[in-house]
Structure 1
Amino acid sequence: MLTLYGFDVSNYFNMIKLALAIKGIDYKTVILYPNQSAEYLSKSPMGKVPALETEDGILTETNVILEYLDEAYPDKPLYPGNTFEKAKIRELVKMAELYLELPARRCHSEAFFGQKVDELTKKEVKRALYKGIEGLARCAQFNPYLAGEQLTAADIVFLYSADLAAAVAKKLFAIDLLEMAPGAKQLLSQLNQREDVIKIADDRKLANVAFQKYLASHS
């Protein structure tokens, strides 16, 4: 059986949880936070989460894990289509991560944890989010999903990237980021109504209590 390492507050961990739920794959979870212990570094070379233990070894990096799951468990594909169509899904995955999730992450400390971020960083993040959502709008179909009529890995990454990016944009810059990509707000709403997504959101709320205690004890 697969073993998933991580914790329910992590958006990357939740991307894998949703992929596993969509595909109906059985797995067990080991709850832990990113750390630099020798034991965990032997599993995750950078000490990050998630990490997925398979019968052949351990994989890290969310996009790698998503692609592995799709090849190892081909039912209900997350990268459907021909070679080009699969590549377009990978392109959308990278765009959502590189141009929405990662720029917004630079301001998570102020948006979510009350720690100030310097003005230059915020200016850079605001510019990056504008460019990112505009680029995604040019690449995605939103018909109704990013790659067309079928839910794919791109939608999973979008769900757990755009929600946080939109929250950062609203709290720090007073802008409605998703309005800049017609169809994005509707897609996010549609995804959030899924039963598996609701279950993951509930798990996240419960786990956040323990996570806040962990942060306080390590501050």
Structure 2
Amino acid sequence: MITLCGFSASNYYNKVKMVLLEKGIPFEEEMVKTGSTDEAVLNCTPLAKVPFIRTEQGAMCESQAIADYLELAYPQPALLPADPWAAGKVRELVVYVDWHLEMVARQLYYAAYFGGTISDEAKEKVRQQLVKNIAAFKRLAKFSPYLAGDTFTQADVAAWVSLPLISMSTKAMYGEDLLTAGGIDWKPYAKMIGERASAQKITADRKADQEKAAAKT
């Protein structure tokens, strides 16, 4: 049995959870916050990041490493094409979503969502980088109807959990959704992916956890 560790508000936690659900892999969930100093957690995820998984073979951290492991260990249903080139193009899109879009936008999250601050200089630097990277992403993404073409893949998992966060954070910080401004019509796409059973389960679980947390305050 696989145990998925982390929390439901994390997009990277939900990235792994969506892969598990799409593949029909049995798993359990364990609440673990990021930044833990517990040695048992650090032995699984040395930077105290989530998500990570526990298995009979040991622990593994980093969402994409986990997704690739699950693809090899549970090849059906496939979330990567069998053709090496096509699989490489899916991985290319994952890198763009995770690193060139989400990780850049992540610099805004503390100010956008948690009442933190960011200097005007840093804020403008992030905006310029995002505008550049969104234009580059637009050249690669097909949206026909899925990110890499006519098949649901790992790229769609990465995109569905992260594009809304990028949109909301840029709208909060700049007064406009930089994805939409950059010509990425992501909302109909996200709605389509959101109709999948895996997405509905993730959304329902996240809402339930939010309600539980609110009830405790």
Amino acid at match of 1:112: Y
Amino acid at match of 2:138: A
Shift of 1:85: 0.8
| Distance in 1 (alpha carbons) for counterparts of 2:10 and 2:215 | 15
Matched residue, 1:42:
43
Matched residue, 1:27:
27
- How do residues 38-77 of structure 1 correspond to structure 2 at under 5 angstroms? 38-77=39-78
Matched residue, 1:88:
89
Unpaired runs of 5+ in structure 1?
none
Matched residue, 2:193:
191
Shift of the 82–127 alpha-carbon distance from structure 1 to 2, 3 Å rule, reads same
Identity %: 33
Scaled by the length of structure 1, what TM-score is found? 0.91
Amino acid at match of 2:81: P
Unpaired runs of 5+ in structure 2?
none
- 1:148-187 per-position Cα deviation (integer Å, ceiling 9, x unaligned): 0001001111111111000011111122333224443321
Amino acid at match of 1:74: P
| Distance in 2 (alpha carbons) for counterparts of 1:212 and 1:98 | 31
**Residue of structure 2 aligned with 1:207, choices 197, 200, 209:** 209
| Distance in 2 (alpha carbons) for counterparts of 1:42 and 1:213 | 33
Matched residue, 1:6:
6
Shift of 1:31: 0.9
Shift of 1:72: 0.3
Secondary structure at 2:5's aligned position in 1? strand
| Distance in 1 (alpha carbons) for counterparts of 2:45 and 2:212 | 22
| Distance in 1 (alpha carbons) for counterparts of 2:136 and 2:33 | 33
Secondary structure at 1:106's aligned position in 2? helix
Amino acid at match of 1:99: H
Shift of 1:55: 2.1
| Distance in 2 (alpha carbons) for counterparts of 1:79 and 1:195 | 19
Between Structure 1 and Structure 2, how many residues are aligned?
215
Shift of the 65–211 alpha-carbon distance from structure 1 to 2, 3 Å rule, reads farther
| Distance in 2 (alpha carbons) for counterparts of 1:212 and 1:93 | 33
Matched residue, 1:78:
79
RMSD (Å), alpha carbons: 1.9
| Distance in 2 (alpha carbons) for counterparts of 1:213 and 1:44 | 30
Amino acid at match of 1:200: I
